[in-house]
Amino acid sequence: MSQFQPARLKGKKVLVRVDFNVPLDNDFHITDDNRIRATLPTIQAILDAGGSAILMSHLGRPKGGPEDKYSLRHLVAHLQHLLSNRMGKNIAVEFADDCIGEQAFQKAAGLLPGEVLLLENLRFYPEEEKGDAIFAEKLSKLGDCYVNDAFGTAHRAHASTAVIAQFFAPDQKMFGLLMEGEVSSAEKILHVSEKPFTAIIGGAKVSDKILIIENLLQRATDIIIGGGMAYTFKKAMGGNIGKSLCEEDRLETARQLLEKATAAAVTIHLPEDSVIASEFSAQAETAIALSNQIPEGWMGLDIGPKAQEAFSACILRSKTILWNGPMGVFEMQPFQAGTLSVAKAIAEATRLGAFSLVGGGDSVAAVNQFGFADQVSYVSTGGGALLEYFEGKELPGIAAIRS
């Protein structure tokens, strides 16, 4: 069983792996609480069903032992506030100074239905990232059931994300609601995608996206390539790209990907024109040029108007859309238009009935920044995990629940 079944959680102590790896400022205030908010529906469903929730997570990259700046204690007050607001009543969040050991065990054992316990940072133990089975077994003793709601770490075979699942019977482990939404959206894209299926891949580097492009060549009808990585392709095709971003050691890979696409009858769309700049700066002089005729000393920092039009037309024809990576340096106002036009086209295609998934840090930041997050079908919380999923890899966090 992998499906979330709250009815099974009545009276149970539910050990939930969440991804509370949120950014904190110097005063330990949370600067972006989206990851916490994303898992509130699961916690609420457990409490509403008459279970108690024992939450465990990592935070930051501690160097193998406790460090105050990575303590999950800093999250307690805000979690309490968010949960209480959501549930319309006061929900107290208990905290255990250690994720295993006597205190954690006692606090977990004493939990009553409707109560919440947050455990200290799992990564204060190196055993967590090593996937140590003894550590995983100790964690497993804290709960009667195991729920994995941490899609962001589903690509890691860590103790709390994967190894722990073997200590629970199949009917005592399941995905949480967030994980379920992530997995079903990703599976819809990869396995039941209605055609035409357009994947839009952008960002800085070809090298980061080779595996995903290769895997998508077997599934997509169209692949749009934008962002800095497009110039490696343009150069591989014999173009002049000035001082645009280029991975010289990937020119051959780019050529091979284009050949594979032709063989697989997948249309690759590269930007015909670009917004070029004299330097990498929001104050730079800018102009429009063909992407394969960029003058010496200039660099392409966004797709141009012709590319915007062509990409939008392709997106509007699509029934399935995956977007990973911006079309340009959208953090700087003069180079935003390309990414914005893609976000707009995806929103419009979604209104027309397409299924659209946006995933990967920077494209998610872009849809949020431009206000389109609620106009696409699904915005993923998983960066690395989502990429690995679309590279065709089996994610240990998913496999462990299903096995």
Catalytic residue among 8, 37, 86, 205, which?
A: 205
From the CB of 328, what's the least distance to ligand AMP, in Å?
Answer: 5
- Angle among Cα 52, 161, 320 to the nearest 5 degrees reads 100
Active site (annotated) includes residue 51: no
Q: Which of residues 297-316 bind ligand AMP (CB under 6 A)?
A: 300-301
From the CB of 329, what's the least distance to ligand AMP, in Å?
Answer: 4
Active site (annotated) includes residue 61: no
Ordered DSSP codes for 83-147:
HHHHHTS---EEEESSSSSHHHHHHHHTPPTT-EEEE--GGGSHHHHHT-HHHHHHHHTT-SEEE
Residue nearest to ligand AMP (CB): 203
Catalytic residue among 50, 60, 114, 361, which?
A: 361
Catalytic residue among 50, 239, 383, 384, which?
A: 384
Active site (annotated) includes residue 205: yes
* Rg, Å, the chain Cα set: 23
Compare residues 325 and 382 and give the one whose CB is closer to ligand AMP.
325
| Binding window for ligand AMP (CB under 6 A); candidates: 40-48, 147-155, 178-186, 197-205 | 197-205
From the CB of 344, what's the least distance to ligand AMP, in Å?
Answer: 18
Q: Which of 207, 70, 192, 162 is nearest to 394 (CA)?
A: 162
User: 206-221: string of b/e by CB count within 10 Å (b at 16+)?
Assistant: bebbbebbbbbbebbb
Q: Which of residues 345-384 bind ligand AMP (CB under 6 A)?
A: 362
From the CB of 240, what's the least distance to ligand AMP, in Å?
Answer: 15
Compare residues 145 and 364 and give the one whose CB is closer to ligand AMP.
364
254 touches ligand AMP (CB under 6 A)? no
From the CB of 253, what's the least distance to ligand AMP, in Å?
Answer: 15
**What is the DSSP pairing of strand 286-290 with strand 273-277?**
antiparallel
User: What contacts 116, CB < 8 A, 6 or more positions away?
Assistant: 43, 47, 52, 53, 54, 55, 79, 83, 91, 92, 93, 94
Q: Which of 219, 214, 246, 221 is nearest to 232 (CA)?
A: 246
Positions marked active-site:
35, 205, 361, 384
Using CB under 6 A as the criterion, which residues of the chain lie in contact with ligand AMP when the complex forms?
203-205, 208, 227-228, 245, 300-301, 325-326, 328-329, 331, 362
